[in-house]
Amino acid sequence: MSEKISKHSSKTLVEQLMAWILRKIDQNEWPAGTKLPSQRALAELLHVNRSTVVEALDELKAEDVLESRQGSGVFVKQPFSTIYHNRPVDWRGRMTNSHVEANVHTIQLINEYETKKHVIRLGTGELSPELIPTAQLQRLMHTSYLTNIDLGYSEPKGNEALREAIVQRLKKRGIETSKDGILIVSGALQALQLISLGLLEQGSHLYFDAPSYIPSIPSLQATPLETPINRLKKGILYTVPTLNNPTGQTMNEHERIQLLQDASKRGIPIIEDDVYHDLSFESSPKALKSMDTTGQVIYISSVSKTVSPGLRIGWVVAPTPVIERLADVKMQLDYGSNALSQHIVTRLLSSDDYDDHIQQLRRELKKRADYTEHVLMTYLSHIAHWQSPKGGFYIWVTFKEPIVTKSLFLRLLKRNVLINPGYVYNPRDLYSLRISFAYCTNEQLRAGLQILAEEVSGDSPPLR
């Protein structure tokens, strides 16, 4: 967008900025009632000083195009149009009263700033580009032979060859199923959305143990589990028993057996999210699904955490009638997952390339985890504690005082450091934050954690 504002133009920067805003309004990108981005956001977006933004906004307020609302920001006051007597569409009201709530502001900022290259992303739940097996994926794409049939719609449950490949992979996890018991989805998140739409009874809830990343997805309309499972009357329980997101904790076998028994007594289905299992640094307990004798466990996984989030390929394992119901709902929403991605993942899972990649990925993640813990010890050990990671992406850092506030988040953002604070996983948690060792380089981790230490304690020791 920076080409819209030029220091070499015959018009002043303020005049150019005003014209840019008016175009947004005139083209109905910003209709009546739209809240404008903050002054700081506009200044960063258009590469101008904040004083320039303030002056342009003041001019447009004077012209009765914009208005300030106390404590809320700057809004478009009226359509910039030659026809003023027509009633504008109340988009803001429609969005506010829609079925899906807006995400919390912190999550919106995280989603926005994770795309900015200059930001140190301390909490990102994503593989570093260096860890994605790009060469193997490119080779698979270059050597793939696809027909026009392959690039059409796949059957409702997904590519048959991919489901067969997943059947073989699941056997290594102790899970026995057939291709008819598998549905291909566009990542594990879509699996949760399909389950919420297709299997939750009216008035029931998708329960989860806090802390969890589930609160960052308000469209799921999930509820924290605040009562023992054996007291629940209905609903579905969501859990990440292996390398939980965000804490990195793993349930032991006794805890898994107890969970299954308690849920079984109440007829409560369990969603087992197993996306991090392949990233365990040491052997992990059996999957809940492998111990399931009654069909109460819905198992979901994907290649988003092990190969590439951009492929958008995941899968659901459940009793065949459940899979057929979810497939029907999926067909109503998107008519099938990406055909090319399904083909690539089929070839990857059917070869030794995947196993070789996982072995190498585990070794690299272990090195990064050890380094991250070393830096944490150097900068934060006097004011925080954590458990050494057993795999996955994360270290859950908990401070002695409630200092992980929105204010800290914004102060760090101003210094180009992005964190995932504990309150996005549990609204009452102002003590914790999620540190990821999977994305940043060692240099970025060291710099980011040093800045974090400076903000939370006022000083920091030199790195040993």
Pairing of strands 66-69, 417-418: unpaired
What would the pLDDT profile of 198-223 be if each residue is shown by its tens digit?
999 888 889 998 899 998 888 887 89
- Cis preceding linkage at 88, omega within 30: no
Question: What confidence score (pLDDT) does residue 458 get?
Answer: 65
- The residue among 104 and 321 whose pLDDT is bigger is 321
Query: Which residues in 71-168 belong to E strands, given as ranges?
Result: 73-76, 120-121
Q: State pTM to two decimals.
A: 0.82
Least confident interval from 140-149, 206-215, 345-354, 374-383: 140-149
Phi, psi of 259 (to 5 degrees): -60, -45
What would the pLDDT profile of 232-252 be if each residue is shown by its tens digit?
778 999 999 999 999 999 999
Question: What confidence score (pLDDT) does residue 4 get?
Answer: 60
Average pLDDT of the residues in 47-58:
92
Distance between alpha carbon 140 and the CA centroid of its chain, in Å? 27
C-alpha triplet 166, 171, 173: angle, nearest 5°: 100
Least confident interval from 89-98, 136-145, 400-409: 89-98
Least confident interval from 65-74, 75-84, 124-133, 238-247: 75-84
Per-residue CA distances from 313 to 83, 184, 342 (Å): 48, 7, 7
Q: Is 98 a residue whose pLDDT tops 90?
A: no
C-alpha triplet 394, 447, 441: angle, nearest 5°: 55
Hey, what domains does the chain have and what are their CATH numbers? 2-98 (1.10.10.10), 113-125+355-457 (3.90.1150.10), 134-350 (3.40.640.10)
Nearest partner of 285 among 316, 314, 257, 248, judged by Cα: 257
| Distance between CA atoms of residues 175 and 432, nearest Å | 35
Q: Is 78 a residue whose pLDDT tops 70?
A: no
Q: Is 418 helix (H, G, I), strand (E, B) or coil?
A: strand
**End-to-end C-alpha distance for the chain, whole angstroms:** 43
Q: Half-sphere exposure of 380 toward its Cβ, with a 13 Å CA cutoff? A: 29
Least confident interval from 139-143, 264-268, 378-382: 139-143
Mean confidence (pLDDT) of the chain: 90
Average pLDDT of the residues in 220-228:
85
Query: Which residues in 137-229 belong to E strands, given as ranges?
Result: 182-185, 206-208, 222-224
Q: Is 340 a residue whose pLDDT tops 80?
A: yes
Q: Are 234 and 268 in contact (CB under 8 A)?
A: yes
Give the contacts of 367 (CB within 8 A, at least 6 positions apart).
Answer: none
Q: Is 83 a residue whose pLDDT tops 50?
A: no
Average pLDDT of the residues in 319-325:
97
Q: Is 304 a residue whose pLDDT tops 90?
A: yes
Q: Using 50, 70 and 90 to split pLDDT, how confident is the model at 88?
A: low
Q: Using 50, 70 and 90 to split pLDDT, how confident is the model at 464?
A: very low
Buried-exposed string 209-224: b where 16+ CB fall within 10 A, e elsewhere = bebbbbbbbeebebeb
Q: Is 92 a residue whose pLDDT tops 80?
A: no
CB atoms within 10 A of CB 204: 15
Give the contacts of 235 (CB within 8 A, at least 6 positions apart).
Answer: 200, 204, 205, 206, 207, 223, 268
Distance between alpha carbon 15 and the CA centroid of its chain, in Å? 39
Tokens of 76: 């478009």
Q: Are 31 and 39 in contact (CB under 8 A)?
A: no
User: Which strand (E) or helix (H) includes residue 444?
Assistant: helix 442-457
| Distance between CA atoms of residues 389 and 373, nearest Å | 9
| Distance between CA atoms of residues 415 and 412, nearest Å | 5
| Distance between CA atoms of residues 391 and 247, nearest Å | 11
